[in-house]
Structures are given as C-alpha cells and as structure tokens.
Structure 1
C-alpha cells in the first residue's frame, strides 16, 4: 500500500491535519492492520511539513490506538483497531445542522443568482468574476483559508444579476453566509479531495456564466451547494471537535433565537 497525501495548510494545527489524513486512510480501509506507514521522510515530503509535525501526528495516532511502533522496523497500523463510532455529540450535531440549513438557503438563492448572472453579465462583470476566481485560487495556494475570497466570488456573481432586491437580500444574510463559508472551507481544507472538488465546482459556475448558459449556471451553482452539504455531512467528527463547533457558533445562536 502506497498512499498519497496532500500538503496541509495553516488553519487547524498542522499536526492535527496530518493525523486526520492518516487516520482517515486507516478508518476507510486504505491502510489495513499490519500495513506500514510511509517513512517519516516520505510523510514530510508529501505533507510539506517539518519532521516535528509528523512526529506529533504519529504520536496522536498512537494515543488513539491506531498505530504502533516496532523497534527498528517503523510504524504500523495496529493489528486490532479501536472501535470509534461516527457519532456527533449533541452540540456538534446542532452545529452541523445550522451549517447545513444555511447552505440550503444559499442553494435556493445562489442557483438563481448564477442563472441571472449568466443572462445579464457584462464584460466588466465577467472580468470581476474571473478575477475573483483567480484571487481565491491564489489565496488557497498561499496557505490562506480563502473565506473572504470565496464570499467575494459569490458576491460579484450576485452583482451581475442587476437585481437590487436580490443583492440586498444576500447582503442582509452576509453575516450568516460568511459564518457558514468559514465552516465549509475549514472542513474542505482538511482534505485534498474536498478542496479539488470545490475548485472544479467554481470553475463550472464560471464557465457557464462565461458562455451565458443560464440553465447550466443554475445547475452548477445548485450542485456546488448540494455537494457542500454532502461534504459537511461526511466531515470527520474530529473536525467538529477541533474547529467546526467553534466556527458554527454564530449560526447555532441563530437557530435558538
């Protein structure tokens, strides 16, 4: 077994991100009991982190009973893995529910926003949307969370609708939209496949708007939000314990008000 891992970025502790990726390989059966982990040097290279970070991550996996060292041989997946049911504590479930509900609101609104933008966008609007996509990609590549850039990307699409009521509605919801985006992007940053999916989905929205294809833009935006819900639903409970619950608190308060 020769797993490939994605570099980790700032946000959550680097060692936690490394441990989560390694743990996911084990829990999902891609690394099975008895398999040897890649060498420390290989993990340093793939995750683009220091040896200290890798050692902290491996120590965390040992404390969870997922791996064990064999003197002179390396680190191996434990012969008998601990049972870790994928259940959320009540507060984590509330946080997840709040984020999903806000993304459902976004799906309803932003599908139509994208369709109208495809119909009404001017060359100046298109340039602004293209620049927003480039800024988001640059932010992620430089190690940022991309939250502000993600929100800006969707805002410039809304501005292309030329519908002041729709724009004002989104502005009113911006405090919640920003909070939901913080959670979704924090979750997506922890997995390379999630981050790649998001970029592909943004490109699909952009291409439909470039081509002035309203139906395709509507479908691409709706799919993007639907997939965001799926990514939140499949987030590792460790994510909620470490970051998700804290980031979602403004939305949880909204549920209770």
Structure 2
C-alpha cells in the first residue's frame, strides 16, 4: 500500500505519504489509521518514526487521537496545510522567490496598516523601529528587532491572517535575513538604505496613505532582494578569485 521509505528524511516522508493517502480518500474523514506496528512494517521504519510523523499530522489538525481507540482522520483533514520543503529553500534562487512572495504580502500589509492603524498601534510601530535602530547602532545584526518591526506593522492591520502568513514565511527566510542584516551592518551604505526604507514605510502609515505605504513596502522588499543577490554575487566573485 505504501512505498518503502529511504533512510533520509524519514519522518517527513512518512507524514507526506500518510497525508497523500488521506487527501486521495484512501483514508476518509473519520476513518481510523492502521496501528503504529502495522504502519511501521509497511513503511519499513521504526515505530518512533511513525509516531513522530503522526504527531506532525496531529499538530496540523489532520488526525487526532481518541483514548483507547487509536488515531482517526479529522473532519477538517481535507484542508491541506501550506508547506514549503526546507530542502527546497537551500538555494539563493529559492530564497529570492520567497522574498518575492513576501513582497506582495508586505505591500498589502503596509497599505492596510495605513488605513487601520490606531494611535496605540502607531506607537508600537515607532517603538519597534527605535529598538531596531538602537540594536544596529550597538553593533548587533538586528534580526529579531527587524522581525518585531514588521510584526508590529502587521498587527496594526487588525488581520490575524497577515500575522500568521508572515510568520510562516519568515521561518524560511531566517537564515537569509541574518546574512543580509549582517552584511548590511558591515556596509554603511546598506545600513543607511535600510533605515531610510523603514522610515518611509512608517511615515506613510502615520500619514494614513495606503498607496505610499504600499509603494514604500514594495521598494523595501525589492531592495532587500537586491542586497541579498548582491551578497551572493560578491561571495561568488570572492570564491572565484580565491580559486584562481
């Protein structure tokens, strides 16, 4: 019924196969899954791997445990959760594609924040930007503060789905963000550009100008991608020079 799983990425593979079977209707909503022992034998993996895969599906709301009865497919299991395979995000191209997606979302977030922000949410945005500036001035990379700044803008929209979507995307951009923030901190021109871009977003939100806020956010994310690509080009050039 199932394919044997290779040694690598066992838990991910088992979880994905189970999810495929559920979504194809092999296990309908409300159906009971085979026991850990049976699944372990069919997949050719340990029961621990099966248990971890099922735990992941539980977390995503696809299956649920019923005490004394086993594990069952939930009624909402037909709604497939959004996933991005970590193994697909290890290249500069894939990171830039995620940044491209985030640019579209950040633009709308900024526009809605400009429409809906309150005095309290504006104060929170100002405070987050001040903390970011202070961290950078002290020589830090400002990664956590940068994330908090963009979260404060998303919170100003009053739309929790913006927060959830950005949090989802940010986990795949954490390493890239750390690299770009470190690079920006080393280069005064980059650091100045980032600060000016942030200030433009905040000014537009404060003015209640959705169009200006959208444009400022798009410009910031476009430039962030450009700076990341530039870093990749610089490192490639250094490696080429070292090889020669």
TM-score per shorter chain, which class?
Answer: 0.5 to 0.7
Output aligned runs, 1:59-74, within 5 Å.
Answer: none
- Paired with 1:155 and 1:100, the residues of 2 have a C-alpha distance of 20
1:235 to 225, 231, 235: 231
- Paired with 1:132 and 1:149, the residues of 2 have a C-alpha distance of 7
User: What are the ranges of 5 or more consecutive residues in structure 1 without an aligned counterpart?
Assistant: 1-93, 243-257
Q: How many residues align?
A: 150
The answer (yes or no) to whether the contact 2:184–2:190 under 8 Å persists in 1 is yes
Partner of 1:100: 96
- Paired with 1:147 and 1:158, the residues of 2 have a C-alpha distance of 17
The answer (yes or no) to whether the contact 1:99–1:180 under 8 Å persists in 2 is yes
- Paired with 1:132 and 1:234, the residues of 2 have a C-alpha distance of 27
User: What are the ranges of 5 or more consecutive residues in structure 2 without an aligned counterpart?
Assistant: 1-89, 239-244
- Paired with 1:180 and 1:125, the residues of 2 have a C-alpha distance of 28
The 10-residue stretch of structure 1 (228-237 or 209-218) with the greater mean CA deviation from structure 2: 228-237
Partner of 1:46: none
- Paired with 1:229 and 1:145, the residues of 2 have a C-alpha distance of 17
The answer (yes or no) to whether the contact 2:95–2:173 under 8 Å persists in 1 is no
- Paired with 1:178 and 1:236, the residues of 2 have a C-alpha distance of 16
Partner of 1:154: 150
Structure with greater Cα Rg = 2
- Paired with 1:174 and 1:194, the residues of 2 have a C-alpha distance of 21
- Paired with 2:121 and 2:230, the residues of 1 have a C-alpha distance of 35
Would you say 1:213 and 2:209 are equivalent positions?
yes
The answer (yes or no) to whether the contact 2:139–2:185 under 8 Å persists in 1 is no
C-alpha deviation, 1:238, in angstroms: 5.3
- Paired with 1:190 and 1:238, the residues of 2 have a C-alpha distance of 14
Larger relative contact order (CA 8 Å, sep ≥ 6): 1
C-alpha deviation, 1:183, in angstroms: 2.4
Partner of 2:196: 200
- Paired with 2:98 and 2:215, the residues of 1 have a C-alpha distance of 19
C-alpha deviation, 1:184, in angstroms: 2.0
Report runs of 4+ in structure 1 exceeding 4 Å deviation: 236-242
- Paired with 2:130 and 2:95, the residues of 1 have a C-alpha distance of 26
Q: C-alpha offsets along residues 15-48 of structure 1, whole Å, 9 cap, x if unaligned? A: xxxxxxxxxxxxxxxxxxxxxxxxxxxxxxxxxx
- Paired with 2:139 and 2:186, the residues of 1 have a C-alpha distance of 12
Pairwise CA RMSD: 2.1
C-alpha deviation, 1:236, in angstroms: 6.0
Would you say 1:181 and 2:182 are equivalent positions?
no
- Paired with 1:164 and 1:233, the residues of 2 have a C-alpha distance of 31
The answer (yes or no) to whether the contact 1:126–1:210 under 8 Å persists in 2 is yes
